[in-house]
Amino acid sequence: MLISPVEVKRDMGINKYALTVAVAKRAKEINGGKEPIIKTIGVKPVTIALEEIVRGEVEIIQVEK
């Protein structure tokens, strides 16, 4: 499943910077040994992290100033 971050941002109403930070943090966790939450054909941590966010398994909390 090829996922475009632009489509995610548009469909979910997520700030592109928040999406980038969330994907990077989750990918770092996966790369560090945490198991992915979902089953996917993706092998790269960034792909897995983005797919988890798109499926709603990982929540992005945006703090407003």
The tens digit of pLDDT for each residue in 36-65 reads: 888 888 889 998 998 888 888 887 777 777
Q: Is 12 a member of any domain?
A: yes
For the chain, the domain total comes to 1
Higher pLDDT, 1 or 34: 34
Q: Is 42 a member of any domain?
A: yes
Q: Is 62 a member of any domain?
A: no
Name the residue with tokens 């475009």. 4
Cα 31 from Cα 12, distance rounded (Å): 25
Of residues 51, 61, 64, the one with CA closest to residue 14: 61
Q: Is 60 exceeded by the pLDDT of residue 1?
A: no
- Full domain range(s) for residue 13: 5-54
9, two tokens: 């941002």
Helix (H, G, I), strand (E, B) or coil at 24: helix
pTM (predicted TM-score): 0.75
56, two tokens: 């709603």
Q: Is 60 exceeded by the pLDDT of residue 18?
A: yes
